Structure 1
Amino acid sequence: MLVVLLLSGLYSYISSSHSVFSQWLVLAHGFIGTASLLLLVPFIINHFYRTLGQRRAGLFTSGIFLFVLSIVMGFTGVYIIVAGLTEQTAWLLNIHIASGFSLFGVLIFHVISHYIWLAPKRRASLARSKEQNFRYFPSLEEQAFLRIGTFALGFFTITFSLSLIYLAFEIEPSNQPAVTDYQYNYGPHPFRPSQTDTASGTFIDKNQIAGSQNCANCHKEIAEQWYSSIHKQAASDPTYVKNITLLSENKGIEATRYCEGCHAPVALLTGQLSEGGTHGGIKNTTAFHEGISCLSCHNIESATHLKGVASYRYEPHKPYLFDGYESNFFSALREYLIRINPSQHKTDMAKEILIEPELCATCHVQFMDKEMNNWGWVKMQDEYTAWLESPYSMQSEQVFAHSKKTRCQDCHMPLVKGNDPSANSEGEFRSHRFIGANTMLPSLNGDKEQLAQTQKFLQSNKVRLTINPPNRKDATQSDKQITEDIRAITETPAYFYLNETVKLNVVAANIGVGHNFPAGTLDINEAWIAFTALDATGKVIYQSGFLEDDLSVETNAYFYRSLPIDRFGKLVWKHDLFNRVGETYKNFIPAGGSDIVEYTFDVPSWAKGPITLNAVLKYRKLNQRYAKWALGEDYQDLPITDMARATILVPLRQQPPVRMESASSSFLNNTEIEAN
């Protein structure tokens, strides 16, 4: 058994193959290792008692080394067999390999030394005996080498036979579309107008992209986060269901390939998106439940270009034994094999593209071409270029830049503590909640944790508001003449006069978002500034950005949004992008940039000072008109998040009376009366 363990371990160590034979060999190695350990323990105990009284320092020392190496090899082997290997315990495999090879080296030295240090009479006796052919291994019987060879040959023969049997019954993944008569309405490429490619240039079997529940068996914490994420709900989002259905009804199911490459890659890559198939917005389908599945991202090999619309190259992972088998027993065996031998799994699932912002660019950049809108090429959202131009990419010509490059993953997939197998040496792994700005879905789902984390993310000082104090150039504290060199105040006072028209500036600064604010679907999201001016009694002097009775934002508010139009100049308010040809309005704040909003209002004579000026940056996922249309019967009041706030108090004064020349009126002329 030890010889078989040596040979099988050596083959696995030298060979980088992920063949069927290699995987069977790993399973067999674990089985033989467990059996040999059960036999080795009583042998070591018995051998120790038999040799305890012998005075051979070299043999005793090498024997102790063998004992220690056996314990190390056995412990690490049992741990791997029982618990498997994780990112934090990967070093155990190296110790197991090193201790195993060392054990065999010391064992050979131990056996040869035993013969060399034998008493001369015993050595002569062995030389004359029928065992003389084995005189260098006196502990072995005459047939020992034959038995070892037979056992090793039988072991590898059985392992090889299991591999042949498996290959004979292996479930080959299909590269044919799920729909029999698949239509190529947008040219010979199977996935157009989506920009997706596959390594084979053909379709993908469902087992090569779906089945996220299998991943959850090992990655439980990550799966729990993913279940709450917007990625998981990318196809089942009721607003997406509404829009993808609208697109399918207007332009046919083949046109939905444009959206499904990002929202429901399972439907796109398996070849469902043709007449007779189902798009991701259809309930009780795999694509609907999976959304952006685990394998949808982890099997992406590269970004084909940075223009977006699912511009990634998909390469399925190399399968482990029993991949695609629905039997619980075979599924458990496959997962066990991954746990004890995760090297290929790590290679496939931790590709370099996953840590690069280019991965995000494949879907968070978007354009529309003539084949979709029957008009021409139209640029839409582009978070990647906005990030490139920001100070966070360290590739821009900004006046200031951060000392460390900040990627999309650093903000939207921060490191969190946990016990996931992929956790690093600090016990941290990347969060798969993909926190962004979608407060609508967790609100509809009653997912309080996802909603709370999303609102916390929005309120983490990423955008800041400042109200510029109304410092007056004509401001006075008294009419008494003094020279400028003894004036103590370097900034003129700020106050309002009764009955005057005032102008105020509110500055909104994007100091923490790595791209434009707001981003994503600017046409249906709402970000606006609510500004109010109240006197000391709480009476409203002026307000902008308030909510109407139907909870829509008043039309004169200052918005950060876009207003897309169709070819006839009508507003495309249903997010039916296939009708979009341009925009009449688009307002956002670039990363590291600021926006100045001017407010003008009259200070009434009845106002009591001081005046409280309050500005709040508010955000709501979906405007009311679109939300009521898209959600239909599922509509409910959507949460509004206050992202930033600024408040100042401004004193109120009366205008000084007109100066008179007579001395008797000089006292009045030199007095300003402050309003209460």
Structure 2
Amino acid sequence: MKPGMDSSAQRYRRGWAAWLARAAAAILLFELISGLAVTVGPFQPAVEWGLLLHTIAGVLATALLTVYFARHWNNYSGQALSDVLLLGYVGLGALAICLLSGVAVTWQGLFALKTAPWLRYTHLISTLLAFAASMPHLFIAWLRRRAEVTRSAAGWLGSSVAWSLIAFAAAAVLTVAYSGTKYKNVFPSDYSFIYGKGRPFAPSLARTSTNGAFDPRSLGGSETCGSSTCHTQIYEEWKPSAHRYAAMDPIFQGVQTVMAKQNGPESTRYCGGCHDPISLFSGTKNILVENLTGLTGYNEGISCVSCHSIQKTDIRGNANYTMTQPVDYLWQWSPAGTAGATARNFLIRTYPRQHAQLSKRMYKKPEYCAACHKQFIDQEVNRVGWVQLQNQYDNWAASHWNKKGDARATVECRECHMPLVESSDPAAGDTSDYNRTADDHKHRSHRFLAANNFVPALLHLDGSQKHIQLTEKWLHGDIDIPEIRSKWADGPIVRIRLEVPPTVAPGQKLPIRVVLVSNKVGHDYPTGPLDMIQSWVEMRVQDEHGKTIFSSGQRDDRNFLVPGTFLFKAEPVDQYGNLIDRHNLWEMVGVRYRRSLFPGYSDTVEYNVLCPSGAPSVQVHSGDDVKEFSVATARPGTLRIDATLQYRKMDQFLLNYVMGEKAGLTAPVVEISGTTASVCVSRSGDASECR
């Protein structure tokens, strides 16, 4: 006992009865239990509230705990080392680490993009170590002086438990007061179960985990992903992407309206699984619903959550997937800059377990993409029978890009369409790919670059200009992807080559062969709905004075391709043999013509040029692959031949049909690849005459 201090004062300052001891014990007990609830308990609002109180109490009590343990150290550190003292030292050291790591985690939760896992684990392990050392420390200390301190120790224990219970009661009250967004997962009262209540979303194969409706709010809210100072870069990539505008696409909306008028609004559920899942699962594609699209679905299309909530897919396609409703954090949809958003972001960063469930290895697999990137029509839709439509997955699976079982030699969907980009995003880094590391500072681009350079500009989407530039660069084959450089190809996505003889005499046919080779496309080229996509060869022959003496593949003044153009396309037909030219695929029963390039394969178109001196005009005869034309040639000279493979996302007829000819719209044309050759027209067959 220190001089001048009586036993009661000593007990007040350093014994079981000390108010500092009891306050410290109450705080630490609450911190222990609320922290363990976060670690091993179920994800629910009460645990989230407990975590918030855990953080607040920990921060506010840091000074109190520091004062108490400083006094405790001062009172006992001069004693001879014993088991009690050793346990106390260990517990105090672990507690110091626990407090420091807790402060660090709190700071990261508030101000960083994410919390460091090692800090969270340090906080947890030091907590368990402090508890493991403190319990025997307290028990032995009580045991050796139990006759003297039992009463005060009981009071210490009782007050600690009581104050902890008060804190837990506060968490319970807060949970009752607010436990997150209350969703209305019900179909509209007039919802039409035309295919039976067991198949509420048919003819789409998409379904929910409950086979019931989902409140549209639960699948939207992509803006919160980007405005939370978390996935800002990914959100900006997604905004002008095809996934984002899948529902608001005016061509989709126009075709959907025609389908609804012809077959009933329920039939459009076939489209909704891939284009508009939020509206589909909320029951919006129903009778008496204008535009058949809810506002959330229209604005977000394939939203962040709708893609990341899929738990199961099937490679049959036609949106054959199962979607679950994600479990929200508190203040899930609070707008940026509010206290609710700050609390939500803090919870996500410090309690990331639930959020991490939105990332699954299955999302990497081509089979995941196949759920929507493979399409067919069956009897429920066309009233006749099954017919295959676009099918990127099977194309890829059967191609030379797929080296089954060898990831280092295989080029998969995400490696091309979601290339790695420099990133400071919390999603940066990955250890599940053979060529990735946890700290590579890269994430997969969510632009999903492909071939649509039309709709982003048509809708004036944020970031559309940059997105279109990247799309056209992609179509040119100019985007370098370092991660697959060793197993991909160089150059344009489709190579074009001219095969012509060096000379031709007037009166002879000049054979021009255009060879097209699929160079770095992972599926058919072109792919998608080939009834509306156009890719063609534009040919121009000029004499040495620059006069065009033949052309093919040009567009007229109304932006239609001239007759006789060599064109990659499909010509689907209905059951009466009529051409499907309005994207009315619900009437399709077969294809009368289809031409595209399989990966690694080539196609050829031949032009035969007749060069008689004094031919009166140009004559064009169109066959399947052979184009013949005559060229007037009065004297020897050089013919320049230019061949270009062109691409546009939408043919002019369909665009005029959906948007109206008066709209003056036309899809921009992209040059995929081009080449040039020269031929000498010589009576003697000597090419030197043209030099």
Q: TM-score, normalised by structure 2?
A: 0.80
What residue number does 2:45 align with? 20
Correspondence 1:307-318 to 2 at 5 A: 307-318=316-327
What code does the residue aligned with 2:671 have? D
Q: State whether residues 392 and 402 of structure 1, in contact with CA within 8 Å, keep that contact through their aligned partners in structure 2.
A: no
What code does the residue aligned with 2:324 have? E
Q: State whether residues 464 and 645 of structure 1, in contact with CA within 8 Å, keep that contact through their aligned partners in structure 2.
A: no
Give the counterpart of 2:242 among 213, 230, 233.
230
Structure-2 change in CA distance of 1:395 and 1:558 (3 Å): farther
Q: Which moved more, 1:604-613 or 1:405-414?
A: 604-613
Q: Distance in 2 between matches of 1:265 and 1:131?
A: 71
Structure-2 change in CA distance of 1:131 and 1:654 (3 Å): farther
What residue number does 1:221 align with? 233
Give the counterpart of 1:198 among 208, 222, 225.
208
What residue number does 1:504 align with? 512
What code does the residue aligned with 1:674 have? E
Residue 512 of structure 1: CA displacement? 0.8
Q: Deviations over 1:419-478 (max 9, x none)?
A: 32222222222222111111111232452111001101111135333435435xxxxxxx
What residue number does 2:106 align with? 78
What code does the residue aligned with 1:215 have? C
Q: Distance in 2 between matches of 1:326 and 1:254?
A: 34
Residue 560 of structure 1: CA displacement? 0.8
Q: State whether residues 510 and 517 of structure 1, in contact with CA within 8 Å, keep that contact through their aligned partners in structure 2.
A: yes
Residue 23 of structure 1: CA displacement? 2.4
Q: Deviations over 1:481-517 (max 9, x none)?
A: xxxxxxxxxxxxx333344211122211112111100
Give the counterpart of 2:391 among 377, 382, 407.
382
Residue 319 of structure 1: CA displacement? 3.0
Q: Distance in 2 between matches of 1:403 and 1:419?
A: 26
What residue number does 1:361 align with? 370
Structure-2 change in CA distance of 1:618 and 1:46 (3 Å): farther
Residue 363 of structure 1: CA displacement? 1.6
Structure-2 change in CA distance of 1:271 and 1:331 (3 Å): farther
Q: Distance in 1 between matches of 2:224 and 2:200?
A: 28
Q: State whether residues 361 and 383 of structure 1, in contact with CA within 8 Å, keep that contact through their aligned partners in structure 2.
A: yes
Q: State whether residues 537 and 608 of structure 1, in contact with CA within 8 Å, keep that contact through their aligned partners in structure 2.
A: no
Residue 386 of structure 1: CA displacement? 0.8
What residue number does 2:58 align with? 33
- Asked if 1:527 is matched to 2:535, the reply is yes
Residue 350 of structure 1: CA displacement? 1.1
Structure-2 change in CA distance of 1:67 and 1:672 (3 Å): closer
Question: Secondary structure in 2 aligned to 1:249?
Answer: helix
Q: Distance in 2 between matches of 1:608 and 1:40?
A: 101
Question: Secondary structure in 2 aligned to 1:506?
Answer: strand
Q: Distance in 2 between matches of 1:234 and 1:69?
A: 50
Question: Secondary structure in 2 aligned to 1:320?
Answer: coil
Q: Which moved more, 1:449-458 or 1:209-218?
A: 209-218
Structure-2 change in CA distance of 1:573 and 1:369 (3 Å): same
- Asked if 1:186 is matched to 2:192, the reply is no
What code does the residue aligned with 2:427 have? S
Question: Secondary structure in 1 aligned to 2:514?
Answer: strand
Q: Which moved more, 1:269-278 or 1:431-440?
A: 269-278
Give the counterpart of 1:551 among 543, 550, 559.
559
What code does the residue aligned with 2:417 have? H
What code does the residue aligned with 1:512 have? K
Q: Distance in 1 between matches of 2:132 and 2:411?
A: 50
What residue number does 2:445 align with? 431
Residue 222 of structure 1: CA displacement? 1.7
- Asked if 1:6 is matched to 2:32, the reply is yes
Question: Rg: which structure is higher?
Answer: 1
- Asked if 1:674 is matched to 2:675, the reply is no
Q: Deviations over 1:613-632 (max 9, x none)?
A: 22211111111222222222
Give the counterpart of 1:451 among 468, 472, 485.
468
Q: Deviations over 1:30-86 (max 9, x none)?
A: 222212224334556777888999997987975994586256424433334423673
Correspondence 1:299-310 to 2 at 5 A: 299-303=309-313, 305-310=314-319
What residue number does 2:419 align with? 414
Correspondence 1:135-534 to 2 at 5 A: 143-163=155-175, 172-178=182-188, 180-188=189-197, 189-218=199-228, 219-280=231-292, 285-303=295-313, 305-321=314-330, 330=340, 333-347=343-357, 349-395=358-404, 403-424=408-429, 425-446=439-460, 447-460=464-477, 461-470=491-500, 494-534=502-542
Question: Secondary structure in 1 aligned to 2:367?
Answer: helix
Structure-2 change in CA distance of 1:599 and 1:50 (3 Å): farther
Q: State whether residues 204 and 273 of structure 2, in contact with CA within 8 Å, keep that contact through their aligned partners in structure 1.
A: yes
Residue 110 of structure 1: CA displacement? 7.9
Q: State whether residues 534 and 651 of structure 2, in contact with CA within 8 Å, keep that contact through their aligned partners in structure 1.
A: yes
What code does the residue aligned with 2:445 have? S
Structure-2 change in CA distance of 1:275 and 1:470 (3 Å): closer
What residue number does 1:647 align with? 676
Q: State whether residues 419 and 427 of structure 1, in contact with CA within 8 Å, keep that contact through their aligned partners in structure 2.
A: yes
What residue number does 1:474 align with? none
Question: Secondary structure in 2 aligned to 1:596?
Answer: strand
Q: Distance in 2 between matches of 1:576 and 1:293?
A: 26
Residue 213 of structure 1: CA displacement? 2.5
Q: State whether residues 101 and 119 of structure 2, in contact with CA within 8 Å, keep that contact through their aligned partners in structure 1.
A: no
Q: Distance in 1 between matches of 2:495 and 2:109?
A: 57
Provide structure 2 residue ranges, at least 5 long, that are not aligned to the other structure.
Answer: 1-26, 430-438, 478-490, 612-631
Residue 546 of structure 1: CA displacement? 1.7
Q: Distance in 2 between matches of 1:209 and 1:587?
A: 39
Residue 326 of structure 1: CA displacement? 9.4
Q: Deviations over 1:366-421 (max 9, x none)?
A: 1122332233222211111111111222249xxxx995222222211222222322
Q: State whether residues 615 and 645 of structure 1, in contact with CA within 8 Å, keep that contact through their aligned partners in structure 2.
A: yes
Structure-2 change in CA distance of 1:555 and 1:26 (3 Å): same
Q: Distance in 2 between matches of 1:146 and 1:607?
A: 113
Q: Distance in 1 between matches of 2:116 and 2:637?
A: 68
Q: State whether residues 30 and 81 of structure 1, in contact with CA within 8 Å, keep that contact through their aligned partners in structure 2.
A: no
Q: Distance in 1 between matches of 2:154 and 2:187?
A: 63
Q: Distance in 2 between matches of 1:646 and 1:607?
A: 26
Structure-2 change in CA distance of 1:442 and 1:609 (3 Å): farther
Structure-2 change in CA distance of 1:153 and 1:4 (3 Å): same
Q: Which moved more, 1:605-614 or 1:305-314?
A: 605-614
Q: Distance in 2 between matches of 1:239 and 1:464?
A: 27
What residue number does 1:490 align with? none
What code does the residue aligned with 2:363 have? L
Q: TM-score, normalised by structure 1?
A: 0.82
Q: State whether residues 465 and 616 of structure 1, in contact with CA within 8 Å, keep that contact through their aligned partners in structure 2.
A: no
Q: Which moved more, 1:530-539 or 1:290-299?
A: 530-539
Q: State whether residues 260 and 267 of structure 1, in contact with CA within 8 Å, keep that contact through their aligned partners in structure 2.
A: yes
Question: Secondary structure in 1 aligned to 2:511?
Answer: strand
Provide structure 1 residue ranges, at least 5 long, that are not aligned to the other structure.
Answer: 117-122, 135-139, 472-493, 657-670
Q: State whether residues 455 and 641 of structure 1, in contact with CA within 8 Å, keep that contact through their aligned partners in structure 2.
A: yes
What residue number does 1:89 align with? 116
- Asked if 1:628 is matched to 2:644, the reply is no
Question: Secondary structure in 2 aligned to 1:561?
Answer: strand
Question: Secondary structure in 1 aligned to 2:384?
Answer: coil
